[in-house]
A and B are shown apart, each in its own frame.
Chain A
Amino acid sequence: MVFNSFIFLIFLAIVLIAYYRLPRRYRNLFLLLCNYLFYIYFDVRFASLLLAITVIDYFLAEKIQAFSSYKGKKRILIIGLITNLLALGIFKYFNFFMDSFVSMISIFGFHLSYKALELILPLGISFYIFQSLTYLFAIYLEQIEEKYTLLEFAVFVSFFPTISAGPIERASNLLPQIRQPRSFSSSHIREGFILITAGMFRKVIIGDTAGKIVDHVFAQPQYFASLEIIMGILLFAVQIYNDFAGYSSIAKGVAKLLGFEIMDNFRQPYLSRSILEFWRRWHISLSNWLKDYVFKPLQFKFRDYDHWGNIISLLLTFTLCGLWHGARWTFIIWGFLHGFYMSFSLLTANLRRTIRQKLVRSESLKKYSQISITFFLVTFSWIFFKAESFGNASVIFERLFHWTSSELTLRIVIIMASYSLASIFIDFIEIKFQSQAFLLCFSKPVRTAIILTCWTTIFLYLFTYEKSPFLYTRF
């Protein structure tokens, strides 16, 4: 079930009541059952894959611990990586690689026919496999000393607040919490509920609504005027942020209701002053994962090549980031583009600093121009992220560069401005109060009124809207 649905809210309410009534020692087992129920509701077919990955990874981790030599540990880790990534690769990328391979060799005149695997993507596979791998890495790097049971590990891998769309939690953060007895705390309940409210509002009222326009513009860009295309792109930037950040807030809130503290996944990323900063504030769990387990090892391997070592590492890591999002060339281009941005930024750091010092006097002008440029670069890259194919992207660029005017200009501008301002406004309040649960800082009558207003609007919209699944559950 998606978070933005009545059935999930009912499920959550039932789970919470039972969870806190059960004696503490049964809570993990009950949580495991709920995790699998949640997963099975989405799709019963792949629950066995989830279970298989869990068991395999648990025993591989045991083997790593059993070996005392570094060579032995490394061998098992590599087996683990291959197994997990193979599972991920087959379900997610098999057809994509085969298609690309076939078209590539057809250039040389060879024709290969293969049977495309009629495989459907298992829910959250990219998330739970990455989450499970953090355990293998942590054991390998001796970051975890305690021995965890299969039950505890299984709860960790299938953890329902994070399984469908992250944040990709670390074993070293979540497993100790699973081991700890969790008692009922009304402040947790309050904060959790507020986080869910904030997340639902962002996701449903800003993200899903903007998404309706975006989907239509991107589906048939040839029928829209240039300004309308710009609206589609800008609203996609608004949608993907509010949709994903909202969903992550809900995940954090749900976890909190259960007594868990999970990481923030977003920190007002569109207010970043550089691409480097953007990746510290956008999808933080994924970028940290890639930094720790892909970038740092690569960077270390290529350390003899100075700048070029860094650049190769950046390009490879970000391309992989693109590929993680899906089996599509446009995702890879998006990732590579960010790798390019980062490399360019690295190479020209000194030059840009000198230019800035010469040209820009005021601090605030500097700040706003940096934010604007960064936002522009990110939004430009979103075109590739959203477009289904090169063809789709090229139609969009064509509509942008051959300027056609729109008779709806005023309305389009107002729509763009309203969505953007709403999103930025919430960002500013979050920054001011240093928290997504800023409603806690307001007095009780004010807080209650705002919560009531939010939920009224959310409920009305949920009743009328044809369900909009979270963008990232396709991953």
Chain B
Amino acid sequence: MKTSKRNLKSFIIFSLTMISGLLTVEIFLRLTEISLPSYVYDDPKLGRTFRPNAKIFRADAEGFCISQVNKYGYLGKPYDREKNRDSLRICLVGDSFVEGMQVFDRNHFRTILENELKQGLNRNVEVLNFGIGGIDFRVMYFIYSQRILEFNPDIVLFFVKDDDFLSADVLPAPEIIVRDNELAIDYSFLNNAESKLRRTFKIVRNFSLGNLSKEAFEQFYLGRFWKIVLDKMNFLLAKGQKQEPIHQPQDRENDRYFGVNTKIIRQLDIDANKHGTRNIIIKVNSWPSYYSDILSREKIMVFDLESELAHYINDEIYFKAFEEFGHWNYFGHRIVADYLAKSILLLYDQDKNCQKE
């Protein structure tokens, strides 16, 4: 009898200590920002989106970012939906390159662009960053039509890479599809495997420890477990995990998103006239040439950022933060901002000249 009472007492003390221990670690992780509760969540209407006011802390091989999602759910300085008539408002949309969590907001091309345009145009300029990692061109259009337009932009810049046209976002997001020859939104994303997996971790990700566990589990999920545990001895187990090369279709026939993409591009022109915005595509890297053809046919303006970046490839301060993913470093952000500022100022100069005529 006495032993079982003692055992119960021990167990209670053990449990209480365990709980306080985990709580202490949770608090420590949050205050030091070693691991924070997840700054994204899966919204039933918006898909994977930023949690308003969530803190962001990232320090990895590619860069360092201490930041916060603003109260409206996008990145950078919070600007109201209502726009001042005298201000020039530019909205950015794109994937992790635009998200740019490799630098602080003050060094992000968003801020540099804002300052350069303010000087160049001598008026108030607001740049809103709707970039979020992992999305494709169709999700960009979704964000544009469902969220960006609410903010009354004058210019919207779509940062498009080849995989944005050619492949699909694996993360949960509403899908833009063609239904009855018109663009429509498919909200069934909540039922796919990825979403279901994410739902199991939903509550857990609201805690620092939970988010850390999710990231650890992700390593397992991505097949990196044995590499991490066995390090150099990995050759004992792994049978050469071959990376499947991403199959990039080179012609329209094999491009499964060609139809949708084309429709979206056409719609961008229609929307621009309807809402009085300027929709500009920023060419970040090499696309199949047939997309360039379509864009010029639909008279959508394209800024060739790719050529600009090509000038710096042999530069000492190479603009890519890290070979593997190639996100922009401090230098990269500066180049991008300078190029965009130059291009937009040129646009306004041309406008002025046109008006004179």
Contact = CB atoms under 8 A, between A and B. Distances in A.
**Does A touch B (CB under 8 Å) in the complex?**
yes
Interface of A: 1, 5-7, 10, 41, 205, 209-210, 212-213, 216-217, 220, 223-224, 407-408, 411-412, 414-415, 417-419, 422, 443-446, 448-450, 452-454, 456-457, 459-464, 466
B28 A418 contact: yes
A26 B233 CA distance: 27
Given A411-B33, A446-B14, A453-B25, A223 B231 contact: no
Interface of B: 10-11, 13-15, 17-18, 21-22, 24-25, 28, 31-34, 55, 59-61, 63-64, 66, 103-104, 106-107, 209, 212-213, 215-216, 219-220, 228-233, 330
A446 B64 contact: no
Interface centre among B22, B103, B219, B220 (most CB of A within 10 A): B22
A463 B216 CA distance: 5
Contacts of B55: 411
Contact of B104 (A223, A457, A462): A223
Given A7-B231, A466-B61, A415 B14 contact: no
Given A415-B33, A419-B32, A453-B25, A445 B219 contact: no
Contacts of A209: 32, 34
A212 B59 contact: yes
Contact of A464 (B13, B215, B231, B232): B215
A418 B64 CA distance: 19
A203 to B, nearest CB: 14
Contact of B330 (A223, A446, A449, A452): A223
Contact of A7 (B18, B104, B212, B230): B230
Nearest to B220: A463
A243 B18 CA distance: 25
Contacts of A464: 212, 215-216, 219
A463 B10 CA distance: 31
Contacts of B59: 212-213, 216
A444 B91 CA distance: 59
A209 B212 CA distance: 13
B17 A449 contact: yes
A50 B209 CA distance: 43
A453 B231 contact: no
B32 A453 contact: no
Contacts of B33: 411, 415
Highest count of chain A CB atoms <10 Å: which of B13, B31, B32, B33: B32
B136 to A, nearest CB: 27
Nearest to B230: A7
Contact of A6 (B17, B66, B228): B228
B229 A6 contact: yes
Contact of B230 (A6, A446, A466): A6
A450 B17 contact: yes
Nearest to A452: B18
Across the A-B interface, give the 4 residue pairs with the lowest CB-CB distance, nearest first: A453-B21, A449-B17, A216-B64, A445-B14
A212 B33 CA distance: 11
Contacts of A448: 14
B59 to A, nearest CB: 4
